[in-house]
Amino acid sequence: MDKHNIILIAHGQFEKGFLSEIAEEVALEYSCSVGIQESQLDLMNFYDPSRRQYDGYKLLKEIEGMNIAGYNKKIGLFRVDLFIPILTYIFGQAFFKGNSGIASLYRLKNEQYGMQADQDLLFHRFRKVIIHEIGHTFGLIHCHVPNCVMRSSTYVEDIDQKRHHLCSKCLNEIAEFKI
């Protein structure tokens, strides 16, 4: 078994084949096995009526507490709007050098910005956010290389600017981390 196995924990309904394609991409990027699991978590416990959003901080803690045999990195995938107490929204978050992260496709949808739905674009964006958050669990900080997936993105347009791959510098750092 690989040293690092990643499990994608899906909360809510995703298109058929959508997650398996992402899992394949993640596996390629990090050279490890990636599994998918559906979660039965009741998201209403994480809903904040005053903000009409879901508490990403609590969800991240919940994911961290999950014990899934055979996998040591757990990434929660959501369709709902996430926030953390200090920020108005997040695309995703992870524990730095930790074992868990979260990502949501809610704010990645074109429809949120008054544009036509684009399933392909959504897939590309979601894939980048997931690979980015996993990078943080490996201890990668935000990268200054413009098209590196670890570049900081606060707007959805920033995500579109970068590729879904790690730059050579980040790959080297990951290699050191894995050793």
- Let me know if 111 is a catalytic residue: no
Listed ranges 16-24, 64-72, 88-96, 118-126: which one lies at the site for other proteins (CB under 8 A): 88-96
CA distance 100 to 75: 6
Confirm if 75 and 101 have CB atoms less than 8 A apart. Answer: yes
CA distance 154 to 176: 28
| Cα 52 to Cα 45, 106, 112, distances in angstroms | 13, 13, 15
The verdict on 95 binding other proteins (CB under 8 A) reads yes
Which C-beta is closer to other proteins: that of 89 or that of 106?
Answer: 89
Give the one residue of 90, 105, 129, 148 binding other proteins; rule: CB under 8 A.
90
Listed ranges 66-74, 89-97, 118-126, 169-177: which one lies at the site for other proteins (CB under 8 A): 89-97
Listed ranges 15-23, 30-38, 77-85, 169-177: which one lies at the site for other proteins (CB under 8 A): 77-85
The verdict on 146 binding other proteins (CB under 8 A) reads no
The verdict on 69 binding other proteins (CB under 8 A) reads no
Give the one residue of 4, 109, 136, 162 binding other proteins; rule: CB under 8 A.
136
Which C-beta is closer to other proteins: that of 147 or that of 154?
Answer: 154
Q: What's 153's DSSP letter? A: -
Question: What one-character-per-residue DSSP string does 41-105 give?
Answer: --GGGGEETTTTEEEHHHHHHHHHH---TT-SEEEEEESS-EEETTEEEESEEE-TTSSEEEEES
CA distance 31 to 142: 21
Of 25, 29, 62, 133, which is the active-site residue?
A: 133
Q: What is the residue type of 153?
A: S
Give the one residue of 36, 43, 68, 84 binding other proteins; rule: CB under 8 A.
84
Helix/strand/coil for 140: coil
**Residues lying near other proteins in the complex (CB under 8 A):** 51, 57-58, 83-90, 93-96, 136, 141-142, 152, 154-155
Residues marked active site are found at 133
